[in-house]
Amino acid sequence: MNSNVTSSKFHELFGSVTDPRIDRTRHHQLLDIIFIALTAVICGAEDFVTIAEYGKNKQGWFEKLLDLPHGIPSHDTFQRVFARLDPKQLEAALIAWSEHLRAAKQIRGEEIIALDGKTLRHSFDNALGVGSIHIVSAWASQARLCLGHIKVAEKSNEITATPELLSLVK
């Protein structure tokens, strides 16, 4: 990432996520991949193909913020990298980023927190026998900010995941 983004809170919070790739296969910087994916998802991308398409459509803007020595990663690259990232590290970085945004918006006092369960589209893999991923999210309605989310354990339900989620956003 260039100096504008490198010195940002984003770099500080997501810089601790371990890159699972070996050196010779790293054509794109991990923070660039995460930044593009996160930006695309915030703007409505729902899968790796639309994340890559979003990156290509906004490449000029991303080039002002990121180094992008090999351009925008392909959808396959996004998929491979995110499949190998440590989910706990990524979750911790996302929660810390959410906390930073909440503090920056100075959310205090009465706030309605909506809890919502969702099934992530295309998160299943029939060939490997992996079912869809179910998550529960906490949404600060006034601030329009996701405060956190947690994956629902297999053969469980949202009710069992909710107390753990609430402990994260207290």
Q: Would you say residue 61 has pLDDT above 60?
A: yes
Average pLDDT over the chain, rounded to an integer: 80
- pLDDT above 90: percentage of residues in the chain: 28
Q: Would you say residue 122 has pLDDT above 60?
A: yes
For the stretch 15-25, what's the b/e string if a residue is b when 16 or more beta carbons lie within 10 angstroms of its beta carbon? eebeeebeeee
pLDDT at residue 19, as a whole number: 93
* Token representation of residue 162: 């909710």
Which has more confidence, 132 or 10?
10
Q: Answer for the pair 29, 53: CB distance below 8 angstroms, yes or no.
A: no
Q: Answer for the pair 37, 82: CB distance below 8 angstroms, yes or no.
A: yes
Between CA 51 and CA 130 the distance in angstroms is 22
pLDDT at residue 53, as a whole number: 96
Least confident range from 92-96, 143-147, 155-159: namely: 155-159
- pLDDT above 70: percentage of residues in the chain: 79
Count Cβ atoms within 10 A of the Cβ of residue 66 and give its class: 0-12 exposed, 13-18 middle, 19 or more buried: buried
Helix (H) or strand (E) holding 149: strand 145-151
Which has more confidence, 82 or 136?
82
Between CA 31 and CA 15 the distance in angstroms is 7
Q: What is the mean pLDDT of residues 111-121?
A: 75
pLDDT at residue 2, as a whole number: 47
Kindly give, in sequence order, each residue whose CB lies less than 8 Å from that of residue 80, ignoring residues fewer than 6 positions away.
Answer: none
Between CA 61 and CA 64 the distance in angstroms is 5
